[in-house]
Structure 1
């Protein structure tokens, strides 16, 4: 389980450092249009205060504490599942990625009441109106990996002879 902790720690730290950089160093909320074209349209920093879930769903409702509780329940559920069933090194890494991302967004909800989303990427004539952050990427990647990684091979037990 140590690998889950350290993977989660580094993902959480990367998320919080990028958010600090965007919010307090380049001060994205103070820029005109709360936007900074880095490599348009492929990479644009675009401030979004997400009070809801993915894509701002349910943002009109005060769901801060519900979403914090859901994040903790998911993290606890993943840890319980790993403890009960075990996993490969990659399963533990995937769990750490998911948990680190979830806790990164929890900290935002505790500090600001919303999640700081700022990455916006578009390509090939398709305009993406949504913004996301490192934690969102980690949550998605961790969940997909946990869903599709092969289960660990369990050693076969020798069959008992009938008496």
Structure 2
């Protein structure tokens, strides 16, 4: 919904400002986090740890846990990393809220940030509830090996980061 903002000069065009603000972007983040949690709960209840269900010649569903960060970075660090990565996620979500509020009219930018925020929230829920992140998407190439397993939150983070970069490159090319 748009509201009309008054202008200083009578001949100037009216400026429209969105009254919705953060709400659409928070909705996108919530959808990513909910979709992530529903899929993880389904895998958690349907699979034993390490159980694999082949889907195609390059993709499996698998239930694995990641106590670290991307690619199991610091996964064997002894437990402190749970709190460290949780704290980083809280700071990141706070910063993303600031970015969304400041740049609410930049649609591609905000869409990317909302996807990243939803992914961060989805993974931090796992860290707080279980002490690790549940991963279940396993892509591989015969003869080369398996890509590290990931989840819907990770997809949100990666796609969001890609859109963020595309938006920045587009903005730089325009100036």
Which structure has the highest strand share of the two? 2
Q: Same fold (TM over 0.5)?
A: yes
Counterparts of 1:50-65 in structure 2, within 5 Å, are 50-61=66-77, 62=79, 63-65=81-83
Aligned length: 147
CA pair 122-84 structure 1, distance change in 2 beyond 3 A: same
Stretches of structure 1 lacking an aligned partner (at least 5 in a row): 152-163
Q: When the two structures are superposed, what TM-score results if normalisation uses the length of structure 1?
A: 0.82
What's the offset of the Cα at 1:92? 1.8
Q: CA deviation at 1:82?
A: 3.0
Name stretches of at least 5 consecutive residues in structure 2 with no aligned partner.
1-21
State the Cα distance separating 1:85 from its structure 2 match: 4.0
Hey, what's the Cα distance between the residues in 1 that align with 2:117 and 2:52?
Answer: 29
Superposed CA RMSD:
1.9
1:33-112 matches, within 5 Å, as 33-40=50-57, 42-61=58-77, 62=79, 63-112=81-130
Tell me the equivalent position of 1:160.
none
After superposition, what is the alpha-carbon deviation per residue over 1:27-82, rounded to whole angstroms, capped at 9, x for unaligned?
242xxx52111223x22012221011111011111200110110111111122123
**Alignment partner of 1:27 is 2:47:** yes
Instruction: Give the CA deviation at 1:87.
Output: 4.1
1: CA distance between counterparts of 2:148 and 2:129? 22
The TM-score with structure 2 as length reference comes to 0.76
CA distance in 2, matches of 1:6, 1:38: 31
Shift of 1:114: 0.2
2 CA distance for matches of 1:43 and 1:28?
18
Distance between the aligned counterparts of 1:69 and 1:7, measured in 2?
Answer: 22
